[in-house]
Amino acid sequence: MKGLVGIYNALFERFGPQGWWPAESRFEVIIGAILTQNTNWKNVEKSIENIKQARLLEPYELYKAGEGRIRELIKPSGYFNQKAKKIMAFMEYFKKHNFSIEALRQKELSELREELLSVWGVGRETADAILLYALDKEVFVVDGYTRRIFSRLGMVSPSVGYEDLRAFFEDRLPKDIELYKEFHALIDELGKRYCKRDPRCEGCPLSTGICSFRESNYPEKNDSSKGVPQR
């Protein structure tokens, strides 16, 4: 059952639909994509909730609030000084499009991606998350979990670059936005539960018939008397 579709099916069968990206609006997805840099999602949720409580989760209102007010509201997400600047940099770009999500969605993918990457503080993963989850563009989002898992599966090099890794998925999967969203979320779920830096191979949905990492790198862990490290 090797191959990306087989891996997707194995993950979906184990974990089920992930419902990612959790948000009430496309604009909330964009702000969340910036806030989630270098932090976990629980911290992002706290910051988003602060913005909602302040009644500022609307493009023009957040823009008017300014960097200082944003900085106060997003403290739970960490690196709040830089992230407030990044949000305002995006808002300046968004202002040029009249704060219109539809204006962005109407742009051609390559042009829009180039524009997003030109915004200070928006890197490739953030841009692609915005494109896929907020703007419904056919871009596969890859991250550290993706590189770790698929290099352990022997499908890519551990040193594969971002663009090559993204192309690896886009060249081998059907052009399906919902599939892209679900697969990315499932990969991250696998990385959080099992394929950690110190892997927890026992019970992993890919450990039988798909992944040989456990046997080739940790043969002693096949001895049930030794157990599996739990972290």
The neighbour count for residue 101, using CB atoms within 10 Å, is 17
Residues 6+ apart with CB under 8 A from 182: 8, 12, 17, 18, 20
Mean pLDDT of 96-120: 98
Residue 32, sorted as left (phi over 0), alpha (psi -120 to 50) or beta, turns out to be alpha
Q: What percent of the chain has pLDDT over 90?
A: 88
Distance CA 212, CA 60 (A): 51
Q: What is the pLDDT of residue 73?
A: 98
For residues 74 and 89, membership in a common domain is answered with: yes
What does the pLDDT look like over 212-222, one tens digit per residue?
786 566 544 44
- pTM score of the predicted model: 0.90
Domain that holds residue 67: 26-134
User: What's the farthest any 2 CA atoms get from each other in the chain?
Assistant: 63
Q: What is the pLDDT of residue 215?
A: 58
In a domain, 185, yes or no: yes
Of 100, 134, 168, the last residue of a domain is 134
Per-residue pLDDT band for 208 (boundaries 50, 70, 90) equals confident
In a domain, 229, yes or no: no
CATH number for the domain harbouring residue 200: 1.10.1670.10
Backbone angles phi, psi at 96, to 5 degrees: -65, -15
CATH number for the domain harbouring residue 100: 1.10.340.30
**Residue 198 and residue 229 in contact, taking contact as beta carbons nearer than 8 Å:** yes
